[in-house]
Structure 1
Amino acid sequence: MTGHVTAPVAAPADELPTWVRLLLAPNPGPMALDGTNTWLLRAPGSAETVVVDPGPLDEAHLARIVEAGPVAAVLITHGHPDHTDGSRRLADLLGGVPVRAVDPAHTVDAEPLGAGDPAGAWPVLKAAGLVIEPIPTPGHTADSVCLLVEHEGDRAILTGDTILGRGTTVIAHPDGNLADYLASLARLATYRGVTALPGHGPALADCGAAADYYLAHRQGRLAQVQAAVDAGDRTPAEVVARVYADVDPVLWWAAEWSVRAQLEYLGVPVGGSDGSEARLDQP
């Protein structure tokens, strides 16, 4: 039976690549774990840095990022506030350095990632002595993207909230979509032995192994949700109370996002995106 996972789902990385530095934002919490990981990427000998996920609007945290400059670009893995609230302020502090995200709402003075080619292979970026390949990985959110970074044959993949360093993530329904998420995990499962640098929690040694675990976990949760419906549960809240009974109730609101996404995937009608609690047996 699938249970609540709080530990790393793959072996933690023994060390970070030499061209990676972590700044942990001061926003710990049930969803952010120890806080948002702001990743600083710079090849040895490069004069510039690429920043991934500035994190919250915290002046001290943003000042630490500025001190690590000069900054060539700021990249966003997805638009949740704990990753993006500091973006515009950081761009100002850096004198107009571009911020690039999939969603134009989180892009500043630049083209969105994947602009003009949402379904194809997105152009690689070259900055700070690195080659950075954006990989569309929708599911956690519609705008989620992972970043495959390479320097002299050494690779790492920044996974945002698609794969966390500890535990599993939510499907942020209705923006998130489970079918998309499963497809994204299958894609990430091909990156065997590649270090995963997540949006929260420790780095993992093997992105592919973590994706395998996430896929198995999601299939287990789907079976539990189907069993709850078969047992007579008739609202998403009832399904959460049964399936996520081992989860602290303070997180049930987030679990309901995932349940709604799973019910949608299973073809079970649910309430509207406004959060209304329609019963599952209502038309």
Structure 2
Amino acid sequence: MSAQYEALEELEPGIARVLAHNPSAFTYYGTQTYVVGSREVAVIDPGPDNPEHIDSLVEAVGPRKLVAILCTHTHRDHSPAAAPLAERTGAPVIGCAPLALETVGPRADASFDGDYSPDRVLGDGESISIDGRPLTAVSTPGHTSNHLCFAYGDALFTGDHVMGWSTTVVFPPDGDMAAYMASLHKLRKRNDRIYFPAHGPPVTNPQQYVRHLAGHRMQRERQILKLVNHRPLDIPEIVASAYPGLDPRLTTAAGGSVYAHLLDLERRRLVSRSGDIWTGTGSASRS
């Protein structure tokens, strides 16, 4: 990542980004807000409600018509800047459905934006026009139930569903592992040339990378199933065994991922639970 904070950087014709100054263990260097189009533009994932970032986006759009402010989902590192940017530009907020849901206990990653209020929600396959070309919503639940990717030509803006630096946090109750895996499979059937994620560098080998992500999740599933088939365990014990040497800042996220896997395995009757203790049924995981 060589981008400067709050500076417009052209990535290829018709696609530029502005990197928000919100680095963290979950956002990498920060949220990448994309400016798509030439004569008229859309802003994808306006990011946090940071005045400096909003000023940078207004400057990036300049005299061009801002057709839409699009959000992939409503975590606070993605959508809060939508409303103030809309107020300053008059552009509509379009994209994912509103969702404000908190987990039981604290989240490790960004919480939900309860103030998000879109002018229009895009369903799977619905489009808006930018420079006479369709920008199309691709429904990809899993990271959150309202998550969308956006396709523009042969480029796909993947939000947090596929990131260029790390695996995605899947944190129940809204994060759903089965839905996430199904959304990965959906992307594998597409022919996108490049992914532009909200965090991390572009993904230039999409099909190979999606196969890698799915394989990683299946390997983690088999690991968890092996542990609870060996002896009953609670989630902290599974995390300690499955993630040796884990950065303590990521412990809560790892626990959420393990919980998401366990809920999926429970639905498939491969594990059972009694209170906080999870036990394998002795069956094999998905192949």
The normalised TM-score by structure 1 is 0.82
Opposite residue 205 of structure 2, the aligned amino acid is: D
The CA distance in 1 between the partners of 2:235 and 2:70, in whole Å, is: 35
Q: SS state of the match for residue 12, structure 2? A: coil
Contact 1:147 1:157 in 2 (8 A): yes
1:79 deviates by 1.1
**Given that residues 137 and 146 in structure 1 are in contact (C-alpha distance below 8 angstroms), is that contact kept between their aligned partners in structure 2?**
yes
- Map of 2:27 onto structure 1: 32
The 2-side partners of 1:164 and 1:146 are apart by 12
1:279: Cα distance to partner? 2.3
> What percent of counterpart residues are identical?
33
Look up the match of 1:51: 43
Say whether residues 1:83 and 2:78 are aligned partners: yes
Q: Report what 1:279 is aligned to.
A: 277
Q: Comparing both chains, which one has the higher relative contact order based on Cα–Cα distances under 8 Å and sequence gaps of 6 or more?
A: 1
Which residue, out of 119, 123, 127, partners 2:126? 123
Unaligned runs of 5+ in 1: 1-14, 115-120, 272-276
Aligned partner (choices 40, 62, 80) of residue 54 of structure 2:
62
**CA displacement at 1:123 relative to structure 2:** 2.0
Letter of the aligned partner of 1:33 in structure 2?
Answer: Y
Is contact 1:38-1:53 (8 Å) kept? yes
Q: Root-mean-square deviation (CA), in Å?
A: 1.9
Deviations 1:132-161 (A, max 9, x none): 1111110111011111101xxxx2000011
Pick which of 218-227 and 238-247 moved more.
Answer: 238-247
Counterpart for residue 159 of structure 1:
158
Tell me how far 1:102 sits from its aligned partner: 2.1
Tell me by how many angstroms 1:280 deviates: 2.4
Tell me, in whole angstroms, the C-alpha distance in 2 between the residues paired with 1:192 and 1:101: 22
Whole-angstrom CA distance in 1 between matches of 2:37 and 2:16: 8
Return 5+ residue gaps in structure 2 as ranges.
1-9, 100-114, 280-287
**Distance in 1, Cα, partners of 2:272 & 2:55:** 47
Matching residue's letter, 1:279: I
CA–CA distance in 2 between the matches of 1:78 and 1:270? 31
2-structure distance, mates of 1:233, 1:67:
57
**For residues 60 and 248 of structure 2, what CA distance do their matches in structure 1 show?**
40
Deviation at 1:247, TM superposition (A): 2.3
Number of residues paired by the alignment?
248
Could you say which residue in structure 1 is the equivalent of 2:241? Answer: 242
1:120-269 residue pairs with structure 2 within 5 A?
A: 121-150=124-153, 155-192=154-191, 194-267=193-266, 268-269=271-272
Q: For 2:273 and 2:146, how far apart are their aligned partners in 1? A: 23
Offset, 1:265: 0.8
Work out the CA distance in 1 between the residues paired with 2:118 and 2:71.
14
In structure 2, what residue type is equivalent to 1:124?
Answer: S
With over 3 angstroms needed to count, the CA separation of the structure-2 counterparts of 1:234 and 1:100, relative to structure 1, is same
Task: Report deviation, 1:192.
Answer: 3.9
Aligned residue in 2 for 1:102: 96
- Structure 1's 156 and 102: CA in aligned 2 closer, same or farther, altered over 3 A? same
> 1:204, CA displacement in angstroms?
1.2
The CA distance in 1 between the partners of 2:258 and 2:86, in whole Å, is 37
